[in-house]
Amino acid sequence: MTELAEHTTQHAPPAPPRTGFKRLLGPGWLRAAWMTPLFFGIGFGIVVGLRALAGWDPVLDWLIIVTVGALTAAPLGFLAGIGAFDYWTRYALGRPTQPEDHSSHGARSWSDYFRVNTDHKVIGIQYVVTTIFFFLAGGLMAMIFRAELAKPGMQFLDNQEYNGLISVHASLMIFLFVIPAFAGLANFVIPLMIGAPDMAFPRLNALSYWLLPIAGIMMLSSIAVPGGAFGAGWTGYAPLSVVGTDGNVWFNMGVQWAGASSIMTALNFLVTIITMRAPGMTFWRMPLLVWANFTTSLLVVIATPFIAGSQFFVMFDRLMHTHFFDFHNGGYVLGYQHVFWFYSHPAVYIMMLPGFGIASEVISVMSRKPIFGYRLMALSLIAILILGFSVWAHHMFVSGMAPWLRVPMMITTLMIAVPTGIKVFSWLATTWEGRLNLVTPMLFALGFVSMFVIGGLSGIMLGAVPIDIHTSDTYFVVAHIHYVLLGGSLFTIFAGIYYWFPKMTGRMYNERLGKLHFWLTFIGFNATFFPMHIIGVQGMPRRVSDYSPQFGTWNMVISLASFFLGASFIVFVYNMIVSWARGERAPANPWRSMTLEWQVSSPPPIFNFDEIPQIVGGPYEYGVEGARHAVFNGDRELEEVRAP
Amino acid sequence: MRRGAIVRLVTIGLLAGLAAAAVAIFIPWLPAQQSREAGRIDFVFWFVVTICIAVFAIVAAVIVYSVVKFRAPPDDDSDGPPIHGHTGIEITWTAVPAALVTAIAIVSAVALAENGKLKANRLKVDVTAQQFAWHFKYPQYGGFSSDELRLEAGRQVELRLRALDVIHSFWVPEFRQKQDAVPGIETTLPITPTKPGTHTLMCAELCGLGHATMRAPVIVMRKGAFERWARSQQSRSGSAAGASG
């Protein structure tokens, strides 16, 4: 209590609003509107100036100008303009820092979501809404190329458009949807769950959010680049990505911005989880979502620099004529794949472990039972974290890498099935003899378990080298990644959104529409992606704009089902918008959950906890007589707990 | 657990397993088996699929049974029994999957080793991939080149793959074997075609705008017919080379 009171006295009175031309100088969209072009101009000047000085021809090399000016400097100008760097700039320049008036903390109106905000709850919602926008954009692209693929032969796309669409679709879904959507949900939930007033570094948190739309717009706008979007797939294998269209540079740089965002958030999570847990919350009392984000963040900070490196190598080969992957000059083509997958395989777990965490929360609460085998659940996350770094070359069984690597990588790959299996079986055991409340989050969580099992089993098949040799780069792989990333990640993201919707918005979503959404998505998903297993094994390669007529029937079925699947998200978007605006007021704890975020009001107070919670037990003690996870100072029970 | 529950659980599991087995059996999954290597790969495929069906059936049975049996009636605010875990069960579901994946790893490693063995009398073909075409050279027959891949039934071929521009991948689904052709290095792939027939070679690695149409015919011939074809190609290219100087 005393700390909080002290904190309150430090609040400075809000600064008077700026008027006249001074409005152009305050942080916000107006300042961003002139600083973005200004920084582009600076980048332009540097490139043109240096080229003129060096006497290089042509002085106006637009690819270089765009890379330096538009893809590097202008985003920095935008961030500076919108106010992401204000505090640090003053600090670095030695000027007196402004007293904190908390005017950039919390949301009082909708416009507060459109500026630099340091409140983790606002940032969490900013993340989730932004990622859903890019999810819908990526989904629409899938609709377009599925329409093209409905029949053999070329319909209305050309090959460049097709390759661009599949590449941008996958990149948006991975870098702008699945990874940041989990980061967004965790942003909202983790500080609340561990009893902290905010993240450890709120300004860094705001910056990591604002990097995200930059990355997304960069990848999207590559479609408008002369020559077409990047078209080497989201994997961007060199040398195709080096010799392909200039749109590849948009991908190379987009990944840098998204990756920087990921790394900053992960560091923030690590420090927050390690240092800001409420008194009494030992590691063995943390909810499994906190465990999941702890392991995920370790994966992110260790692995993400590798993809940043791989994309810089590709870009330097194109722009600076380095020879990383230029085999005419001693470059090593397979080096790209090793570096790329050293990130991108752990990235699979970056896209899955937070989902495991969400599933654990939802299944335990909605089954009204403790999670089965809590410690083994946490330990299996650690096992996946460690094993996850030793399996990357299973993406390269047919790549021509050193043959001896295949069997060791197969063994580690198959071994990952063990901790993953433990998790699946433990979720099942948690439901056993429970009191299952089949509300929308639970439906998505159970849907996740069943679909993820299929994705996991096809993963074991792909892990066995002889099967992989036949199915690598076929639709079987496409089916596998969609069962893992859609049946796994997307379903748990939806479980999380529905589960925490009352906490985020203070309103209940429409349960009937939620259930309808689940069933439409579940059916559409299986009808779209299950047949891909079949055509893959039968011999249809992936990433082809045209295919042998023998696959025509299945492709028509898949395309029709994919439109059905796409339409199912209309129900979701409608439910979210209408419920947020007009839904029934949510109680503090509609799910009767034990974890901390549900012990405060919906939506939570601006600094989360009016008094610091004391953790006295595990987070999942459902059915245990008189068990508490946390008590508050004012609580009478605290006395009872402390009394022998 | 009561006996009735076990009977019901096993029944649902059997039904789920039968449904999955029907999908596996009645849909024609694998293309025709046209190489010796394909036989071993298909064995591993069905070995793993059988294990997968069993695991799927168990999971499906428990989920379906739980959802039907343990569903809380509306307005039921009670909690379930506080079961925190069971060491024996947890050890079991760590050990059994570990044993299963070990079996899969052993079967796979053996099949992989067998499929990689080279025979002394093998045919050698140099395969060159470029955007968006395949070329084949026969060094044992004077090095003539061809735009179609002709092979001899029953005789192993060692393909030596090179790429001139970007990565491509050699794949004939009927042979199962696949190998990337990587610029700057040479990769190899052994295949033993079993029966005469005509197949299509596809590029399986996204290689640019013409990727979908980067195909070439693969013709497997009887021993005598292949020898005649190869000799005639050799003498033709030899005379062409002689004529050109």
Residues of A in contact with B176 (CB under 8 A): 466, 469-470
Please give the average per-residue pLDDT across A521-525, as a whole number: 97
Structure tokens at A462: 């792909």
Res B161: pLDDT: 97
At residue B170, what are phi and psi to the nearest 5 degrees? -85, 120
CA angle A51, A54, A57 (to 5 degrees): 55
Q: Is residue A325 helix, strand or coil?
A: coil
Q: Is residue A334 classed exposed, middle or buried when 0-12, 13-18 and 19+ CB atoms within 10 A define those classes?
A: buried
Least-confidence region, from A6-15, A220-229, A233-242, B182-191: A6-15
Asked whether A295 and A235 are in contact (CB, 8 A), the reply is no
Asked whether B173 and B147 are in contact (CB, 8 A), the reply is no
Structure tokens at A115: 């500026």
For residues A233 and A245, give the distance between their C-alpha atoms in angstroms, rounded to a whole number.
12
Second-level CATH architecture of B123-244: Sandwich (2.60)
Looking at CA atoms only, how far is residue A363 from chain B in angstroms? 12
Check whether A8 has a pLDDT greater than 50.
no
Whether A76 and A178 share a structural domain: no
Query: Which residues pair with residue B35 across a beta bridge?
Result: B193
Res B242: pLDDT: 52
Whether A34 and A137 share a structural domain: no
Closest CA to A615 of A632, A639, A602: A632
Residue whose entry in the numeric block shows the structure tokens 């006395």 = A639
At residue A192, what are phi and psi to the nearest 5 degrees? -65, -40
Asked whether A470 and A539 are in contact (CB, 8 A), the reply is no
3-state secondary structure A284-307: HHCCHHHHHHHHHHHHHHHHHHHH
Whether A181 and A74 share a structural domain: no
For residues B232 and B240, give the distance between their C-alpha atoms in angstroms, rounded to a whole number.
12
Q: The whole model's pTM is what?
A: 0.94
Q: Residue A43 has what DSSP assignment?
A: H
A292: Cβ–Cβ under 8 A, 6 or more apart, which residues?
A353, A354, A355, A356, A357, A358, A360, A381
Asked whether A77 and A35 are in contact (CB, 8 A), the reply is yes
Whether A51 and A135 share a structural domain: no
A631 within domain boundaries: no
B232: Cβ–Cβ under 8 A, 6 or more apart, which residues?
none
**A349 alpha-carbon distance from chain centroid:** 11
B94: amino acid identity, one letter: T
Last residue of a domain, one of A530, A548, A582: A582
Q: In chain A, whose CA is at the least distance from the CA of B201?
A: A539
Please give the average per-residue pLDDT across A348-354, as a whole number: 95
Whether A141 and A62 share a structural domain: no
pLDDT range class, residue A105, cuts 50, 70, 90: confident
Whether A466 and A322 share a structural domain: yes
End-to-end CA, chain A = 25
Instruction: Kindly determine whether residue B185 and residue A466, on different chains, have CB atoms separated by under 8 Å.
Output: no
| Optimal mutation site among B12, B66, B78, B110, interface A, most CBs of chain A within 10 A | B66
For residues A331 and A317, give the distance between their C-alpha atoms in angstroms, rounded to a whole number.
10
Residues of A in contact with B31 (CB under 8 A): 538-539
Last residue of a domain, one of A582, A604, A621: A582
Please give the average per-residue pLDDT across A435-445, as a whole number: 96
Looking at CA atoms only, how far is residue B169 from chain A in angstroms? 8
Mean pLDDT of chain A: 92
A258 within domain boundaries: yes
In total, how many domains does chain A have? 2
Q: Is residue A439 classed exposed, middle or buried when 0-12, 13-18 and 19+ CB atoms within 10 A define those classes?
A: buried
Tell whether B206 is within 8 A of chain A (Cβ): yes
Domain borders along chain B are 3-70+91-115, 123-244
Q: Is residue B195 helix, strand or coil?
A: coil
For residues A215 and A576, give the distance between their C-alpha atoms in angstroms, rounded to a whole number.
25
Whether A361 and A494 share a structural domain: yes
Taking only the tens of pLDDT, chain B with its 245 residues reads 677 888 999 999 999 999 999 999 999 999 999 999 999 999 999 999 999 999 999 999 999 999 999 999 988 888 999 999 999 999 999 999 999 999 999 999 999 999 999 999 999 999 999 999 999 999 999 999 999 999 999 999 999 999 999 999 999 999 999 999 999 999 999 999 999 999 999 999 999 999 999 999 999 999 999 999 999 999 988 776 555 44
A108: Cβ–Cβ under 8 A, 6 or more apart, which residues?
none
Q: Which B positions 72-131 lie with beta carbon below 8 A of chain A?
A: 72, 76-86, 89-90, 93-94, 97-98, 101-102, 104-105, 107-109, 111-112, 115-116
Q: In chain A, whose CA is at the least distance from the CA of B20?
A: A454
B154: Cβ–Cβ under 8 A, 6 or more apart, which residues?
B192, B193, B194, B223
pLDDT range class, residue A598, cuts 50, 70, 90: very high
A224 within domain boundaries: yes
Q: In chain A, whose CA is at the least distance from the CA of B207?
A: A240
Instruction: List pLDDT tens digits, range A602-621.
Output: 999 999 998 889 999 999 99
Residue whose entry in the numeric block shows the structure tokens 């959404």 = A517
Q: In chain B, whose CA is at the least distance from the CA of A592?
A: B77
Residue whose entry in the numeric block shows the structure tokens 């953790």 = A615
Beta-carbon neighbour count of residue A163 at 10 Å?
30
For residues B228 and B221, give the distance between their C-alpha atoms in angstroms, rounded to a whole number.
10
The dihedral sign for the CA sequence A284, A286, A289, A292 = negative
A193: domain CATH number is: 1.20.210.10
Residue whose entry in the numeric block shows the structure tokens 């029949």 = A151
A350 within domain boundaries: yes
Asked whether A90 and A35 are in contact (CB, 8 A), the reply is no
Residues of B in contact with A333 (CB under 8 A): 167, 182-185
Query: Which residues pair with residue B72 across a beta bridge?
Result: none
Percent of chain A with pLDDT over 90: 87
For residues B27 and B41, give the distance between their C-alpha atoms in angstroms, rounded to a whole number.
18
Strands, sheet with B133-138, edge to edge from the N-terminal-most edge strand? B144-146, B133-138, B123-130, B157-163, B187-191
Q: How do B144-146 and A630-631 pair as beta strands?
A: unpaired
Instruction: Kindly determine whether residue B84 and residue A233, on different chains, have CB atoms separated by under 8 Å.
Output: no
Instruction: Find the helix or strand (DSSP H, E) in which A607 lies.
Output: none
Q: How do B168-171 and A630-631 pair as beta strands?
A: unpaired
Please state the length of chain A.
Answer: 644
Q: Is residue B201 helix, strand or coil?
A: strand
Residues of B in contact with A522 (CB under 8 A): none
Last residue of a domain, one of A38, A64, A92: A92
Whether A563 and A457 share a structural domain: yes
For residues A424 and A363, give the distance between their C-alpha atoms in angstroms, rounded to a whole number.
11
| Optimal mutation site among A380, A426, A470, A555, interface B, most CBs of chain B within 10 A | A470
Give the range of the structural domain holding residue A79, as residue numbers without chain letter.
Answer: 24-92
Instruction: Kindly determine whether residue A461 and residue B45, on different chains, have CB atoms separated by under 8 Å.
Output: yes
Whether A289 and A369 share a structural domain: yes
B63, B105, B171: residue with CB nearest A410: B105
B48, B71, B173: residue with CB nearest A539: B173
Please state the length of chain B.
Answer: 245
Beta strands in B47-196 (DSSP E): 123-130, 133-138, 144-146, 149-152, 157-163, 168-171, 178-181, 187-191
Check whether A403 has a pLDDT greater than 80.
yes
Whether A86 and A117 share a structural domain: no
For residues B133 and A524, give the distance between their C-alpha atoms in angstroms, rounded to a whole number.
38
Whether A133 and A270 share a structural domain: yes
Cα distances from A80 to residues A63, A87, B69, in angstroms, run 24, 11, 58
**A287 alpha-carbon distance from chain centroid:** 20
Q: Which B positions 133-172 lie with beta carbon below 8 A of chain A?
A: 165-167, 169, 171
Whether A49 and A177 share a structural domain: no
